[in-house]
């Protein structure tokens, strides 16, 4: 951090007093890997406009893969501040972030705070900023599943209500915000920053060394408690995947928590029969598999967007999605928690039947540049 400050001082010494005064300080708050994927392109776009930037990692999620190499791949520096809150209940975690983040804001006095997505770090940081009257910009604003049983949905609604600038990834986000009484001049349709990251890393992903792969395969990722904590549903899904594996190999990088649930069912993850259980993958490795997959089966939000951009069929095992644009014009099909329907849709795809799709407007890899232009003027 000291080195970066010295570089910043050296740079502004070459500016006039007026130019130095006008240099904007933007603070990014991130708490989980998806946040970093969204913040990275915005950070780089603002760097091109000479903004002075601080990255605060709340430590909400600890990920062993989040090492220096991870940040190098994204093209951003390691965080300036790590609040190290760790895992806890929603209330305890949110409270810890609030109490630890406030002194950082009081010390650094940023012009804008950027929050990303819908995790507890997002809502906690936004609340602190609102109390201290520091402008908040929410990146990926306006997404709604209309399911208040999801903690993320509560976070989205709260953050959007107290933010000063709302950057939406698609037109449905604008509609949702207007329906909730958000002033129109606060809402900026900029496109999807996750697609910016995907576009920039796609060449590297295609160069990733991968183990010998089947010529045709389905790719699976499941982690939501509603799916993996339901023993009957999980067993039914695994049976479908194993049956499908006789005709179409299934690659399943297994989240540690999901692996525990599968083991509790007495299922041997060492066997395959066409269903290959794998260790968790880095973003680049998983992206490399996505580009080669016949179909992706998921309960993740971001993967619904990535498959739409890549033109890969996506089957989502959820009752709702906060990204309806991926089902309306993208490659995503929302199945609900329905193993029978999963079997039917996989049968169609294996027979060559694909849903027609197109790319949502402004999902062009330049959303972060539009954000930087709006913030910096």
The DSSP code sequence of 315-373 is: EE-SS--S-THHHHTSSEEE--S-HHHHHHHHHHHHTT------PPTT-SS-HHHHHHH
What gap in Å lies between CA 279 and CA 295, rounded to an integer? 19
Cα 345-349-354 angle, rounded to 5 deg: 100
The reply to whether 61 belongs to the active site is no
Q: What is the pLDDT of residue 1?
A: 45
Please say if the pLDDT value at position 53 is more than 90: yes
What gap in Å lies between CA 365 and CA 212, rounded to an integer? 31
Please say if the pLDDT value at position 244 is more than 50: yes
Q: Which domains does the chain have, with CATH numbers?
A: 2-192+363-376 (3.40.50.2000), 204-350 (3.40.50.2000)
Q: What is the pLDDT of residue 190?
A: 98
Q: How many of the other CB atoms lie within 10 Å of CB of 326?
A: 26
* 372 within 8 A of 46, measured Cβ to Cβ: yes
Please say if the pLDDT value at position 9 is more than 90: no
Please say if the pLDDT value at position 243 is more than 80: yes
* 297 within 8 A of 332, measured Cβ to Cβ: no
Q: What is the mean pLDDT of residues 281-295?
A: 93
Backbone angles phi, psi at 227, to 5 degrees: -95, -50
* 364 within 8 A of 195, measured Cβ to Cβ: yes
Long-range contacts from 209-216, C-beta under 8 angstroms, 24+ separation: 210/285, 210/288, 210/289, 213/251, 213/289, 213/292, 214/249, 214/251, 216/248, 216/249, 216/294
Q: What is the mean pLDDT of residues 84-107?
A: 94
Q: What is the pLDDT of residue 69?
A: 67
Record the pTM: 0.90
Determine what percent of the chain is predicted with pLDDT higher than 90.
75
Q: What is the pLDDT of residue 16?
A: 43
238 Cβ contact list (under 8 Å, min separation 6): 262, 265, 267, 275
Q: What is the pLDDT of residue 22?
A: 53
**Rg, C-alpha atoms of the chain:** 21
Q: What is the mean pLDDT of residues 273-288?
A: 90
What gap in Å lies between CA 367 and CA 365, rounded to an integer? 6
Q: Which of 60-69, 72-81, 194-203, 211-220 has the highest mean pLDDT?
A: 194-203
Please say if the pLDDT value at position 328 is more than 90: yes
Q: What is the mean pLDDT of residues 306-313?
A: 98
Sheet holding 217-221, edge to edge: 275-278, 249-253, 217-221, 295-298, 314-316, 332-334
What gap in Å lies between CA 276 and CA 218, rounded to an integer? 10
pLDDT confidence of 62, banded at 50, 70, 90? low
pLDDT confidence of 272, banded at 50, 70, 90? confident
* 120 within 8 A of 90, measured Cβ to Cβ: yes
Q: What is the mean pLDDT of residues 336-345?
A: 96
Please say if the pLDDT value at position 287 is more than 80: yes
pLDDT digits (tens, 9 = 90+) for 19-51: 444 579 999 999 988 899 999 999 999 999 999
pLDDT digits (tens, 9 = 90+) for 101-131: 999 999 999 999 999 999 999 999 999 999 9
Q: What is the pLDDT of residue 68?
A: 66
Per-residue exposure over 341-364, b if at least 16 CB sit within 10 Å of its own CB, e if not: bbbebbeebeeeeeeebeebebbb
Helix ranges, the chain (H):
2-12, 17-22, 33-47, 68-74, 90-108, 120-132, 151-162, 171-179, 193-206, 225-228, 231-244, 256-264, 283-292, 301-310, 325-328, 339-350, 367-376
Looking at per-residue pLDDT, the higher value among 66 and 331 belongs to: 331
Dmax over Cα atoms in the chain, in whole Å?
Answer: 70
Out of 28, 57, 138, 223, the active site residue is 223
pLDDT digits (tens, 9 = 90+) for 160-176: 999 999 999 999 999 99
What gap in Å lies between CA 137 and CA 111, rounded to an integer? 11
pLDDT confidence of 17, banded at 50, 70, 90? very low
What gap in Å lies between CA 3 and CA 172, rounded to an integer? 43
* 177 within 8 A of 152, measured Cβ to Cβ: no
Q: What is the pLDDT of residue 293?
A: 96
Determine what percent of the chain is predicted with pLDDT higher than 70.
92
16 Cβ contact list (under 8 Å, min separation 6): none
Q: What is the pLDDT of residue 64?
A: 58
pLDDT mean across residues, the chain: 90
Q: Which of 84-98, 156-170, 236-250, 264-278 has the highest mean pLDDT?
A: 156-170
């Amino acid at each position: 951090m000291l080195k970066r400050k010295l570089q910043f001082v050296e740079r502004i010494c070459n500016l006039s007093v007026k130019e130095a005064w006008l240099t904007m300080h933007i603070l990014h708050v991130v708490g989980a890997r998806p946040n970093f994927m969204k913040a990275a392109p915005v950070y780089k776009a603002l760097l091109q406009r000479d903004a002075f930037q601080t990255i605060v990692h709340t430590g909400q999620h600890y990920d062993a893969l989040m090492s220096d190499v991870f940040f190098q791949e994204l093209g951003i520096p390691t965080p300036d501040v790590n609040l190290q809150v760790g895992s806890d209940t929603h209330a305890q975690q949110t409270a810890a972030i609030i109490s630890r983040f406030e002194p950082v804001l009081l010390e650094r006095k940023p012009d804008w705070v950027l929050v990303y997505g819908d995790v507890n770090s997002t809502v906690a940081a936004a609340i602190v900023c609102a109390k201290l009257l520091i402008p908040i910009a929410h990146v990926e604003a306006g997404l709604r599943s209309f399911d208040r049983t999801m903690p993320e949905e509560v976070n989205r609604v709260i953050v959007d209500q107290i933010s000063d600038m709302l950057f939406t990834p698609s037109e449905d986000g604008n509609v949702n915000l207007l329906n909730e009484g958000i002033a129109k001049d606060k809402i900026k349709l900029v496109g999807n920053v996750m697609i910016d990251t995907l576009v920039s890393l796609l060449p590297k992903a295609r160069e990733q060394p991968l183990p010998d792969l089947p010529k045709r395969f389905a790719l699976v990722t499941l982690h939501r408690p509603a799916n993996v904590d339901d023993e009957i549903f999980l067993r039914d899904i695994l049976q479908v995947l194993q049956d499908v594996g006789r005709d179409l190999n299934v690659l399943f990088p297994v989240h540690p928590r999901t692996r525990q649930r599968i083991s509790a069912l007495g299922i041997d993850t060492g066997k395959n029969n066409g269903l290959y259980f794998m260790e968790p993958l880095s973003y680049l490795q998983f992206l490399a598999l996505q580009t080669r997959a016949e179909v992706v089966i998921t309960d993740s939000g971001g993967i619904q967007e990535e498959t739409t951009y890549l033109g890969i069929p996506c089957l989502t095992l959820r009752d709702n999605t906060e990204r309806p644009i991926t089902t309306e014009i993208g490659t995503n099909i929302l199945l609900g928690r329905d193993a029978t329907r999963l079997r039917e849709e996989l049968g169609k795809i294996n027979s060559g039947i694909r849903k027609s799709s197109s790319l949502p407007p402004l999902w062009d890899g330049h959303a972060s540049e539009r954000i930087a232009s709006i913030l910096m003027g």
